[in-house]
Amino acid sequence: MAMLVSLRDNASIIWWLTVGLAGFMGLSSAASVKPNIIIIMADDLGFDDVSFRGSNNFLTPNIDALAYSGVILNNLYTAPMCTPSRAALLTGKYPINTGMQHYVIVNDQPWGLPLNETTMAQVFKKAGFRTSLIGKWHLGMSQRNFTPTERGFDHHLGYLGAYVDYYDQSYEQKSKGYIGHDFRENLLPTHDQVGHYVTDVLTNAAVKEIDDHGSKNSTQPLFLLLSHLAPHAANDDYPMQAPEHELAQFGYIQNKTHRYYAAMVSRLDKSVGRVIEALARQEMLENSILLFLSDNGGPTEGQHFNTASNYPLRGQKNSPWEGGLRSSAAIWSTEFERLGSVWKQQIYIGDLLPTLANAAGISPDPELQLDGLNLWSALKYGYESVEREIVHAIDEDEEEPHLSYMRGKWKIISGTTVNGNYDGWLGERVTSGEVDPRSEAYEDLIRNTSVWQLLQQVNPGKRNISGLRADASIECPEPATGIRPCLPLLAPCLFDIEADPCERSNLYEEYRNSTVFLDLWQRIQQFARNAHPPNNKPADPKCDPRLYRNEWTWWQDEKASTAAVMNHFSWLLMGILCCLTML
């Protein structure tokens, strides 16, 4: 009898141990589940062109709902142009350390992100993620090895070069007479989407990626980079494009180009809503990190301008000023302890690789020598005390050498771009007349979006929308030191960005012989001495799409068709004969 009791007791103990172990294993397994990481990147979006900054010229209700539900990144810095910015995002390094610092890759130039650099996609893929790029690449296409599916992405649908037409997906280089189709699924050109608006095409592809992933009940986490064309201008003859029904909403905007810009941003805003709806539909939302940002400031004027506003910041895209470097960004995750807040910590686009990797329990190999910092804990708990050093740009180009560097509140600019044409305050905020009619019931508009409602279901809580909107707005108070001009082509400029975010008071003369300036200047020289030489290479006429069935392709790996070569040379011969006749 005693033995039966003992056996019964032992069985009971074993049962409880089994249940406890199973529970522990379940908790351990749940804790080890990696989050899906979804990055939505706009192209050339102005700092003030998301309405959570305070502008009522046109509204972005879905982006705003994401921002108010999550954390507004008030000081996210990027590189000032597309290629350097994307290189920094994917490598976690300053462009000066990868040779990507000078200008952008033009489609006819045979260079790209060095093949010995490890990308964010490779880091996440190695950790078991499915990796997908939808949209723009712009990190090299002259060799197949430069392209997305050779650099860690399991899947790519989109274009390889700088931009395309919104409907026929062509890229035209008018000065060279080149025009060709640039749109692929993985390694194969696809014309299936010709005639469809590319913002919708990319959104549909992202939604399909999410639906496919969710329908398979995959335990594999998803890393999705939705890299939009919008609102970048298209080819020069027809730069601003939007569906007519989208355009019709903005008839109150008098300037035609700006009306198209508003419609292009509006379509981008709808894309954000559709992606979040897809994540919710597939029950992936709660275990996802969502990030929205722009690759750089918007171009108000000049090449490929789209009327973007970086108000009240100085400068624009392709400049060393805040208007070229600060991105309007927001991030959401159930891990954050201060959802519904404005985070004022300085963060660099190169920090996103180690930060998001840490969020997924990944420790990047120290041999990668990342410049980016892991700020996940600071972001998760809302700390704002990390003093961040950021090399915005060091470009020793002979024609326009310039640099832009920041440490803490101090920022140095020396030299500039485009002869200083973008050195002023170029974007203005519309405060009367051309105001979005929906702004009269702004808070109701935000609360009625699917984005707001879906994120509230996951993380219910009170949000002071008006307070957050005011806190995310940048004010430019009269500097205590008064207005002190900066002429960066004549001498360096020094700014206290905390007190003077609009760069109106140059403190160089006051601090030029101080340890504050001299220490910063010495650090800049150290970076410049160790910089990787720029990878830029001269244009290669062998890129001509006419040689490759009118496709932009990796021409250094392709064999041009004989007929195309003969046709190419016949055109050259005709040109020569024409010139001789004129002589």
Q: 346-374: per-residue pLDDT in tens? A: 999 999 999 999 999 999 999 999 999 99
3-class DSSP assignment, residue 125: helix
Are residues 454 and 570 both part of a single domain? no
Please give the average per-residue pLDDT across 418-444, as a whole number. 92
CA atoms within 13 A on the CB side of 310: 33
Are residues 41 and 139 both part of a single domain? yes
Where among 424, 444, 461 does a domain terminate? 461
Are residues 448 and 577 both part of a single domain? no
- Domain containing residue 578: 542-582
Q: Can you read off the two tokens belonging to residue 158?
A: 């989109």
Are residues 572 and 456 both part of a single domain? no
Position 9 pLDDT exceeds 60: no
Residue 422 belongs to some domain of the structure: no
Are residues 457 and 546 both part of a single domain? no
- Separation of alpha carbons 462 and 562, rounded Å: 67
Are residues 577 and 438 both part of a single domain? no
Amino acid letter, residue 451: V
What sign for the dihedral angle of Cα 467, 469, 473, 477? negative
Are residues 451 and 565 both part of a single domain? no
Are residues 187 and 77 both part of a single domain? yes
Residue 243 belongs to some domain of the structure: yes
Of 177, 152, 110, nearest to 557 by C-alpha is 110
Are residues 567 and 439 both part of a single domain? no
Are residues 457 and 552 both part of a single domain? no
Positions marked catalytic: 82, 138
Identify the band that residue 559 occupies on the pLDDT scale cut at 50, 70 and 90: confident
Please, what's the largest Cα pairwise distance for the chain?
120
Position 290 pLDDT exceeds 90: yes
Residue 400 belongs to some domain of the structure: no
Identify the band that residue 572 occupies on the pLDDT scale cut at 50, 70 and 90: low
Are residues 446 and 577 both part of a single domain? no
Are residues 566 and 443 both part of a single domain? no
Residue 313 belongs to some domain of the structure: yes
Q: Is 169 left (phi over 0), alpha (psi -120 to 50) or beta?
A: left
Listed in sequence order, the DSSP H helices in 369-464 are: 376-381, 442-447, 450-458
Identify the band that residue 5 occupies on the pLDDT scale cut at 50, 70 and 90: very low
Identify the band that residue 526 occupies on the pLDDT scale cut at 50, 70 and 90: very high
Identify the band that residue 33 occupies on the pLDDT scale cut at 50, 70 and 90: confident
Task: Report the domain count for the chain.
Answer: 2
Residue 518 belongs to some domain of the structure: no
Mean of all residue pLDDT scores within the chain: 91
Which pLDDT does position 17 carry in this prediction? Answer: 40
Q: Global pTM? A: 0.91
- Separation of alpha carbons 527 and 506, rounded Å: 23
- The CATH number assigned to the domain holding 443 equals 3.40.720.10
Which pLDDT does position 576 carry in this prediction? Answer: 53
Pair 140, 105: CB distance under 8 Å: yes
The alpha carbon torsion through 45, 48, 49, 53 (nearest 10 deg) reads: 130
C-alpha to C-alpha distances, 174 to 107, 134, 418, nearest whole angstrom? 12, 27, 21
Give the pairing of strands 347-348 and 71-77. parallel
